Amino acid sequence: MLFMKHKIKNLEKASERIKKAVLNKERIILYGDSDLDGISSVVILEEAIKSLGGSIDSAFFPDREKDGYGVNLNALEILKDKAPALFITLDLGIGNLKEIETANKMGFEVLIIDHHETLFGMPNASIIVDPKQESDNYPFKGMANVGITFKLCEEILGDKISKSLRNSFLELTALGTIADMVPQVDENQKVIEEGLRSLKNTFRPALRAFLDILGEGSVFEGSLQKIISALNASESINYQNESYFLLINPSLEKCKDMAQHLINESQQKQFKVKEITQEIERRIMQKPDEEVVFEGDPSWKLTLAGSVASIISQKYEKPAFIFKKGDKESCGSVRNPKGTNSVEAMKTCADFLLTYGGHAQASGFRVKNEDLEKFKERLNNYFRK
Ligand SMILES: [Mn+2]
């Protein structure tokens, strides 16, 4: 090639730092988001580190409902005795300015691998890999986090990556990329094609288990979504995640039990999503003039809000803000039609929102209950334009 190929900013730096940590037998903690994009990022980075002859100390996944999104102080409190250590965040971290300052004080060196927008300034981390940071000139910004992590793994292993390991990473990269609903173009399209091609001959017991349960043809018959829904169905308890344990499990027999369990969970989840969706449809029949669907309830699970918002937004072609109403605060997920930007909309409410962030068409927020009406009002005003 005539030109030097552009790399994501700090990708090489992060790779060098991780290799050094392995060489020096430093403690490494991986802290990932609890959805399939975050989980598959953790799995492939852990396996790249293992392939170098290293190991990780622990993999942590926050419960979005209980702990909130991102790095949280409660988790840091549990982990603090492990400092000094290399603390690597995956699919989260870019918004956690305060928490990362705390991690620094505890003696952790923080390395952020994220693909979310940098809304609140840059956290004070040792190395930040995020194509959406302002100073990054990498041309493609639309990768899922696992796509970025895949590039990091390639960088770490270089020539040492075998074809079968690379394929195995690509299988998870494809699944995480599809699950994260990023546009299937450019590099995303490439990893999805390569990953799915490899998937039917997968060596990973967890994925083999799904194919055996659902039937070999499932990769090509659209029930790929079943595998993704199942892997996305697990909730993190005490920072541990069932899908993660499944994906790293070497026993096919054990994997079949775990995969079946997650398939059942995801069916129950889908049933609940349907119930909530129907309830919302009843409610919005009475208010056809609203620009946004803005609905919450104390009995709804936050983990289902994204799926519900997605169905409602597509059906009514309106932005959908769906939340779990807590005692004092509410926390929710947003999905909105193409051509609209919910993160930009929420920027107009930054003066009272407790947190918000994510992507243009899939985001989240936390707000005091006393500000709910004001929030809805401003959103209606924003989207009326
Ligand atoms: Mn993601």
CA of 298 to the centre of ligand 1 (A): 26
Q: What is the pLDDT of residue 5?
A: 63
Nearest to 334 by CA among 316, 308, 315: 308
In a domain, 186, yes or no: yes
| Ligand 1 centroid – CA 223 distance (Å) | 22
Give 24 Cα–ligand 1 centroid separation in angstroms.
30
Which of 164, 199, 234 is where one domain is finished? 199
Domain boundary among 145, 171, 199: 199
**Inside any domain, residue 4:** no
Is 162 part of a structural domain of the chain? yes
Residue 255 covered by a domain: no
Residues with CB under 5 Å of ion ligand 1 are 37, 91, 145, 180
Do residue 54 and residue 169 come from a single domain? yes
Domain assignment of residue 247, yes or no:
no
Domain termination site, one of 176, 199, 222: 199
From first to last of its 385 residues, the chain has per-residue pLDDT tens of 444 568 999 999 999 999 999 999 999 999 999 999 999 999 999 999 999 999 999 999 998 777 777 999 999 999 999 999 999 999 999 999 999 999 999 999 999 999 998 888 999 999 999 999 999 999 999 999 999 999 999 999 999 999 999 999 999 999 999 999 899 999 999 999 999 999 989 999 999 999 999 987 666 666 798 999 999 988 899 999 999 999 999 999 999 999 999 999 999 999 999 999 999 999 999 988 899 999 999 999 998 999 999 999 999 999 999 999 999 999 999 999 999 999 999 999 999 999 898 888 999 999 999 999 999 999 999 999 8
Residues 6+ apart with CB under 8 A from 285: none
Cα 187 to middle of ligand 1, angstroms: 15
In a domain, 259, yes or no: no
Residues 23 and 127 in one domain: yes
CA 151 / ligand 1 centre spacing (Å): 15
Output phi, psi for 54, to 5 deg. -100, -170
* Strand 329-335, strand 293-297: pairing: unpaired
Query: 298 and 187 in one domain?
Result: no
Query: How far, in Å, is the centroid of ligand 1 from the Cα of 353?
Result: 22
- Say yes or no: 148 and 47 in one domain: yes
The number of helices, as runs of H, and strands, as runs of E, in the chain is 15, 10
Same domain, 295 and 186: no
Number of domains in the chain: 2
pLDDT at 1: 43
269, part of any domain: no
Domain of residue 371 covers 287-384
Q: What is the pTM of this model?
A: 0.90
- CA 112 to ligand 1 center in whole angstroms: 13
Span from the CA of 325 to the centroid of ligand 1 (angstroms): 24
Question: What pLDDT sits at residue 2?
Answer: 43
**Strand 58-60 and strand 28-32: pairing?**
parallel
CATH number (domain holding residue 327): 3.10.310.30
| 172 and 313 fall within a common domain | no
Q: Distance between CA 46 and CA 11 in Å, rounded?
A: 16
Whether residue 226 is contained in a domain is answered as no
Q: Is 299 found in the same domain as 183? A: no
Same domain, 186 and 316: no
DSSP alpha helix (H) spans, the chain: 11-23, 36-51, 64-67, 73-79, 97-106, 145-157, 163-179, 186-199, 205-214, 224-232, 242-248, 252-284, 302-316, 342-347, 372-384
- Amino acid, single-letter form, for residue 55: S
Q: What is the CATH number of the domain that holds 94?
A: 3.90.1640.30
